[in-house]
């Protein structure tokens, strides 16, 4: 089923989800085998479930909205989410995970954003050994299969090639189909950054009169994007007609650099994530386009999957292979539809245990 747009500010009330999940406690009393290697074989009582969300940092509005979504889901089932951030430091992330897995893991549910592809496997193997329930998002090595692990319930990502091409095409259209652009890449050891840039390359192939003047990484950071854009503006000057960025935080940093250079409104800028400041910039005409992956939904859905399995409402064996690693729905946002995302509606029933995979756009091949 196709759903209407739901940006980062949308996930405020999950009352319907709470009703739909209330039956989990009845299952818990019976105690189905959850198939974990290290955990209790009986289903968890709802009040015993521990919910943990972990992202890089809350200074990134998208990642902050992810944790807010986790809080909202947790509140709907009368629990609290433990909010963890690791400042884009892989060592710190692994230390936090190790501390979690050294405690009581029988009813531990983790919704994790691995810092990079290489960080995913240690987290997965730790959860498997400890018997914790794990959902990961965005970053996973292509040759690591979710189906090889019992405790790794699901991996959710987005078709980054598609989103990168979508904003590339929107940028090409905004500059009239020809002219020079620069590109700001994300953290290079992430599938998201690699795929989004591959999408830009597809867009450039489809728009041969658009020239990529330069590209550098700004690590998904607004502050780094500000400095990189300043440098590239000094280098390429008026030849830059557009700026492609792999996320909105970098797009907003690029907009700051353009403003400082007196070029605000003269250069088209695109990004990905649909954070509130980017939506405002699109409304004002300062920014051209973004793509929404709906951070609050991500923060809620990862916990919901783990919660439903932990409490016995969902049997992990009933999660199909296509639902173990899948692309979720995303939405291109321009000035034509931005109002739908700044005044959104939410279908709370998505977090019901029998409706967790309704945003799937297909398995990751």
pLDDT digits (tens, 9 = 90+) for 248-280: 999 999 999 999 999 999 999 999 999 999 999
Q: Is 254 exposed, middle or buried (0-12, 13-18, 19+ CB in 10 A)?
A: buried
Provide the token pair at 289.
């386009």
Residues 237-250 have a mean pLDDT of 97
- Is the model more confident about 95 or about 8? 95
pLDDT at 65 over 50: yes
Residues 206-222 have a mean pLDDT of 97
The reply to whether 46-158+294-330+344-363 and 161-292 are identical in fold is yes
Residues 225-246 have a mean pLDDT of 98
C-alpha–C-alpha distance, residues 69 and 7, integer Å: 11
When pLDDT is cut at 50, 70 and 90, the band that residue 345 belongs to is: low
When pLDDT is cut at 50, 70 and 90, the band that residue 30 belongs to is: very low
C-alpha–C-alpha distance, residues 86 and 155, integer Å: 20
> What is the per-residue pLDDT for 343?
65
| Helix, strand or coil, per DSSP, at residue 159 | coil
Residue 43 in contact with residue 28, Cβ under 8 Å?
yes
> What is the per-residue pLDDT for 341?
86
Name the strand (E) or helix (H) holding 100: helix 90-101
pLDDT at 114 over 80: yes
Q: What is the mean pLDDT of the chain?
A: 89
CA–CA distances in Å: residue 233 to residues 179, 183, 236, 261: 15, 12, 5, 8
CA–CA distances in Å: residue 107 to residues 36, 70, 189: 10, 17, 31
> What is the per-residue pLDDT for 344?
56
Spell out where 86-239 has E strands. Answer: 108-112, 133-137, 152-157, 179-185, 210-217
| Helix, strand or coil, per DSSP, at residue 17 | helix
Residues 162-187 have a mean pLDDT of 98
138: left (phi over 0), alpha (psi -120 to 50) or beta: left
Distance from chain centroid for Cα 349: 20
C-alpha–C-alpha distance, residues 262 and 253, integer Å: 14
Name the strand (E) or helix (H) holding 279: helix 276-284
Residue 53 in contact with residue 66, Cβ under 8 Å?
yes
Largest CA distance in the chain: 69
Percent of the chain residues past pLDDT 90, beyond the cut:
81
The arrangement of secondary structure in 161-292, i.e. its CATH architecture, is 3-Layer(aba) Sandwich (3.40)
DSSP-derived secondary structure letter, 106: T
Residues 64-86 have a mean pLDDT of 95
> What is the per-residue pLDDT for 102?
98
Residues 197-210 have a mean pLDDT of 98
pLDDT at 360 over 70: yes
> What is the per-residue pLDDT for 14?
41
Contacts of 236 (CB under 8 A, 6+ apart): 180, 182, 213, 214
Residues 239-251 have a mean pLDDT of 97
> What is the per-residue pLDDT for 94?
98
Residues 155-171 have a mean pLDDT of 97
Write out the CATH class of domain 46-158+294-330+344-363.
alpha beta
Domain parsing of the chain, residue ranges? 46-158+294-330+344-363, 161-292
Percent of the chain residues past pLDDT 70, beyond the cut:
87
């Amino acid at each position: 089923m196709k759903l209407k747009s739901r940006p980062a500010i949308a996930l405020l009330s999950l009352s319907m989800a709470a009703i739909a999940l209330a039956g989990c406690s009845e299952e818990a009393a019976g105690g189905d085998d959850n198939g974990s290697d290290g955990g209790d074989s009986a289903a968890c009582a709802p009040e015993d479930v521990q919910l943990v969300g972990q992202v890089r940092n809350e200074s990134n509005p998208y990642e902050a909205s992810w944790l807010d979504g986790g809080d909202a889901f947790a509140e709907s089932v009368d629990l609290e989410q433990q909010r963890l951030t690791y400042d884009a430091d892989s060592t710190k992330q692994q230390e936090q995970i190790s501390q979690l897995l050294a405690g009581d893991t029988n009813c531990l549910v983790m919704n994790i954003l691995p810092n990079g592809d290489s960080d995913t496997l240690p987290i997965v193997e730790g959860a498997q050994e400890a018997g914790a329930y794990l959902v990961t998002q965005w970053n996973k090595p292509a040759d690591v299969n979710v189906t090889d692990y019992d405790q790794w319930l699901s991996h959710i990502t987005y078709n980054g090639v598609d989103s990168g091409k979508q904003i590339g095409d929107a940028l090409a259209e905004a500059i009239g189909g020809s002219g020079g652009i620069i590109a700001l890449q994300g953290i290079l050891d992430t599938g998201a950054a690699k795929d989004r840039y591959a999408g830009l390359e597809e867009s450039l192939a489809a728009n041969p009169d658009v020239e990529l003047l330069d590209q550098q990484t700004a690590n998904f950071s607004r502050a780094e994007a500000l400095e990189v854009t300043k440098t590239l503006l000094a280098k390429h000057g008026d030849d830059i007609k557009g700026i492609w960025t792999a996320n909105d935080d970098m797009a907003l940093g690029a907009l700051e650099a353009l403003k400082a250079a007196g070029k605000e409104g003269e250069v088209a800028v695109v990004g990905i994530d649909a954070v509130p400041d980017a939506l405002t910039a699109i409304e004002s005409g300062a920014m051209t386009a973004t793509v929404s992956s709906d951070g609050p939904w991500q923060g809620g859905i990862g916990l919901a999957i783990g919660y439903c399995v932990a409490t016995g409402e969902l049997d992990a064996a009933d999660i199909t292979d296509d639902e173990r690693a899948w692309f979720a729905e995303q939405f291109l946002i321009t000035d034509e539809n931005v109002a739908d995302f700044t005044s959104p509606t939410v279908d709370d029933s998505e977090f019901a245990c029998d409706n967790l995979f309704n945003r799937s756009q297909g398995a990751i091949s």
